[in-house]
Amino acid sequence: MSFPEIITENKSIQLAMKNIRSTSQTLGLVPTMGALHAGHLSLVEESNKQCDITVVTIFVNPMQFDDETDLQKYPRDIGSDISVLKQLSVDFVFAPSPEQLYPAGYGLSVDVGPLGRILEGRFRPGHFSGVATILLKLFHLIPADIAFFGRKDYQQLKVVQQIVKDTNLPIEIVGCPTVREHDGLAMSSRNQFLSPAERQRAGCIFQSLEKAQELVDNGERSAKRIMISMRQHIYQAKGKVDYVALVNPETLQPTLDLTENTFAVIAARMGTIRLLDNRLLKVSNR
């Protein structure tokens, strides 16, 4: 049998996972929507490091898109994805059709509560419901010991941790460091759609986060003033800001004054391309 083994049907992946679970091998899961880049591959490498068996899922989930045009434009190149995964010695790739996961008559949708309606959820209503729904399905089809997610989508990571906790699933959620381009831009499947000029300016998002830490290091503790500085940095690079927020790392609730480590989160646009990033602002109270 050649690896990775490509599986496209629910029953087949369940049977394969049943066979794995009958052994003492540990199982790692890396859920993706394909168009794999170095960020995804770092998750695969971490799974290979921590687990005996690695499963990568490739599924562009229609439930998490609020814009049909955005769904249709999302990059897809499963042949290239599988070639890359083969080089990393992935054991299984689960690449189902929408009809497999959402058959005729399908009706379930998961509401993740207030956490899914702030920040990214405010700008993309229903997005985290779609994320939670597909991940719960995948967690049942593929009963992994550990699932790996990037910290670039930090709110998504917190949502996943919450649904696992709330549903008592015996799966550990591991958040892995953001992988960046040479100028700090967070790796994203959407980066390929940036024009050369937009790509050149897009580093401003990471720079605004670095500027925020610099302000904190220099004694600034006002969240309002830090956020104004971050916005101005992006505006100067001709970016458009959907939101900039300083939040509690666990609850994602807004912070007014920085008395402890705080998360800075950004959603900004370069042209029509929407980009996300974040970083932990470390506060020294010496």
The predicted model gives 171-186 an average pLDDT of 98
Are both 31 and 159 inside the same structural domain? yes
Is 37 designated active site?
no
| Amino acid 59: pLDDT | 97
Residue 7 has pLDDT above 80, yes or no: yes
pLDDT exceeds cutoff 70 at 286: no
Q: Is residue 78 part of a domain?
A: yes
Domain boundary among 150, 176, 202: 176
Has residue 220 got a pLDDT over 80? yes
List, in sequence order, every beta strand (DSSP E) within 24-157: 27-32, 53-58, 92-94, 146-150
Q: What is the mean pLDDT of residues 187-202?
A: 96
Mean pLDDT value across residues 185-194 = 96
**pTM for the whole structure:** 0.95
How many domains does the structure of the chain reveal? 2
What's residue 73's pLDDT? Answer: 87
Q: What is the pLDDT, as a whole number, of residue 285?
A: 72
Do 105 and 194 fall into the same domain? no
Do 168 and 203 lie in a common domain? no
Q: Is the pLDDT of residue 1 over 70?
A: no
- 11 and 53 share one domain: yes
pLDDT digits (tens, 9 = 90+) for 227-274: 999 999 999 999 999 999 999 999 999 999 999 999 999 999 999 999
The CATH number of whichever domain residue 111 belongs to comes to 3.40.50.620
Domain of 122, in residue numbers: 5-176
**Marked catalytic residue, from 40, 127, 140, 233:** 40
Is there a single domain that holds both residue 121 and residue 225?
A: no
Q: Give pLDDT tens digits for 28-45.
A: 999 999 999 999 999 999
pLDDT top residue among 150 and 66: 150
User: Based on the domain organization, do 172 and 96 belong to the same domain?
Assistant: yes
Q: Does 197 map to a domain?
A: yes
Q: What is the pLDDT of residue 2?
A: 61
Q: Give the chain's end-to-end CA distance (angstroms, integer).
A: 60
* 167 and 261 assigned to the same domain: no
Domain assignment present for residue 183? The answer is: no
Give tens-digit pLDDT for 105-159.
Answer: 999 999 999 999 999 999 999 999 999 999 999 999 999 999 999 999 999 999 9
Q: Are residues 146 and 37 in the same domain?
A: yes
Averaged confidence pLDDT in the chain? 96
**Identity at 68, one-letter amino acid code:** E
- The CATH number of residue 215's host domain is 3.30.1300.10
In a domain, 82, yes or no: yes
**Residue from 281, 249, 265, 227 nearest 121 by CA:** 265
71 pLDDT above the threshold of 70: yes
Which of 116, 150, 176 is where one domain is finished?
A: 176
Structure tokens at 87: 């080089």
* Domain closes at, from 147, 176, 205: 176
CA within 13 Å, CB half, 137:
24
Q: What are the pLDDT digits (tens) for 44-59? A: 999 999 999 999 999 9
Residues 132 and 223 in one domain: no
Count the alpha carbons within 13 Å of 55 in the hemisphere toward its beta carbon.
27
User: Do 147 and 52 have their domain in common?
Assistant: yes
Residue 112 lies inside a defined structural domain of this protein: yes
